[in-house]
Amino acid sequence: MPTLSYAYTPTPRQAGAHAEWADELLYGGAAGGGKSRWLRAEVLATLLAFPGSAGVIFRRTFSDLARSDGHILQLQEEIPTSVGRYNAGDHAWTFHNGSRLELAHLNRDADVLKYQGAAYAVVAFDELTQFTEWQYLYLLSRLRVSGRVRDLMAAAGWRPRMLAAANPGGPGHSWVKARFIDAAPAEQLWRPPSTPDEPRPGTRVFWPAKVTDNPHLDEHYVDRLNSLPDDERRALRDGDWDVYAGQRFTAWRRDVHVIEPERLPIPLGAGVARAVGVDYGLDAPFCALWGAKMGDDLVVIHRELYTNGLTAPEQADLMLSVEAEGERDPEGGRPIPIALDPASWARNPTIPSTLPGPAMPDQPPAGSIAAAYRERFGSALGRANNDRLTGVSVIADKLRVRRDGFPRLLVYSTCRNLIRTLPGLPRDPRHPEDVDTRAEDHAFDALRYLLLRLASASPPGAAQLPGEGRVPALTATFGKAGF
């Protein structure tokens, strides 16, 4: 079979990124750097080099793929029929060497389940900051090859890999910055340390590009970037990742709000108000957070569950399994109230219920998600307060450091997903006082349910932290240098 190729002359900056090899490579930064063109060319290079391989390019919505400068029309112009043909029905290219390129979109976290069982030699995200880390990590697990493609790639010293292009800003700004920008200098190939969950991590690199690196753009485009407000100009013209005007919870500081569990054990028994906030999810993640209301109005988030693919009964059983025996009433009761996502009260005929008799006014309807929870937790289950703006306000207030030098919300270091996602939540561009729900907001929802439930709790003999009085209680536990 003759070698398949297509016309493409990279800019010097694009050529430098093409010459780099990493298991995960992010290209771009500033607007106008030619990142989408680079991304298409790099994906095609893999598919044409290894016959029978498969790849996918993701945008957030289908309209992003189909617009005049989107990948569908651009690839139709760039790829000659001698190389491959496009099937508009399934939005995929089939090449004459047997390789296949899919053009796809992920609008919701749950959309990743459409790719369960898929296998790709290359996965690419255009405008990575428009996606959640959950979506990215799930598709990372779809990198795998077998048979002839595996043998060809091994002979070439090649592995399946992730490619991405992005500008600063957007719902995923914080996690993209943490994964690619903050960890190492630009253009420096690096490998994160091994962990029990990832004993053999792959290499990563960020390859920056600016509008000045792209000779194909007219000067008026640069003028338009120059006319933007200061923060947007720094982000889009200069590719400055330290500009993030849209962050909702600006008070968050890891060294202030995250503590090791042994520094503040949660006392069992009376005197400490506790609650659990739960955001239900099946295909998208479900999240449960346990919190305790201590003295000085301090709330400590001390346990987290975060996973997907579990039914409502399985979620409830998992919650029960991680709780310590001392957290429950010796006589079999359950002192910890649960504030469950109020959408779970909708009737769902796919979930059977064994509750006897008709549903009472204060009970969830039979067959609902909430009914399945109630079978495990009884009257401790309650409908969460879903006032979003009040929840956002309470979180922001708890994060604020007071005059005594301490916040009123602390999070155990073991609550990794809350720590990962809360500081990265952006403002809703249409409702700046709210968060952008396109971001990974499952732990945020569970947290606001929990805090609003605890706000109404009045524990008998409100427990103090070690020490006497309101401010000394915090000072005695942490010390002024503790934060």
What is the SS3 assignment for the chain?
Answer: CCCCCCCCCCCHHHHHHHHCCCCEEEEEECCCCCHHHHHHHHHHHHHHHCCCCEEEEEECCHHHHHCCCCHHHHHHHHCCCCCEEEECCCCEEEECCCCEEEEEECCCHHHHHHHCCCCECEEEEECHHHCCHHHHHHHHCCECCCHHHHHHHHHCCCCCEEEEEECCCCCCHHHHHHHHHCCCCCCCCECCCCCCCCCCCCCEEEEEECHHHCCCCCHHHHHHHHCCCHHHHHHHCCCCCCCCCCECCCCCCHHHHEECHHHCCCCCCCCCEEEEEEECCCCCCEEEEEEEECHHHCEEEEEEEEECCCCHHHHHHHHHHHCCHHHCCCCCCCCCCEEECHHHHCCCCCCCCCCCCCCCCCCCCCCCHHHHHHHHHHHHEEECCCCHHHHHHHHHHHHCCCCCCCCCEEEECCCHHHHHHCCCCEECCCCCCCECCCCCCHHHHHHHHHHHHHHCCCCCCCCCCCCCCHHHHHHHHHCHHHC
pLDDT score of 323: 86
Q: Give exposure, 314-341, as e/b (b: 16+ Cβ within 10 Å).
A: ebbeebeeeeeeebeeeeeebebbbbbb
Percentage of the chain surpassing pLDDT 90? 47
Residue 444 · residue 270 · CB < 8 Å: no
The percentage of the chain sitting over the pLDDT mark of 70, rounded to a whole number, equals 79
Q: What is the pLDDT of residue 434?
A: 82
Confidence of residue 194 (pLDDT cuts 50, 70, 90): confident
- Lowest-pLDDT range, 7-21, 381-395, 424-438, 451-465? 451-465
Q: Is the pTM of this model over 0.95?
A: no
Residue 282 confidence (pLDDT): 87
Reported as a single tens digit per residue, the pLDDT across 173-185 is 888 988 998 888 8
Split at pLDDT 50, 70, 90, the class of 42 is: very high
Contacts of 166 (CB under 8 A, 6+ apart): 26, 28, 29, 35, 125, 127, 128, 129, 176
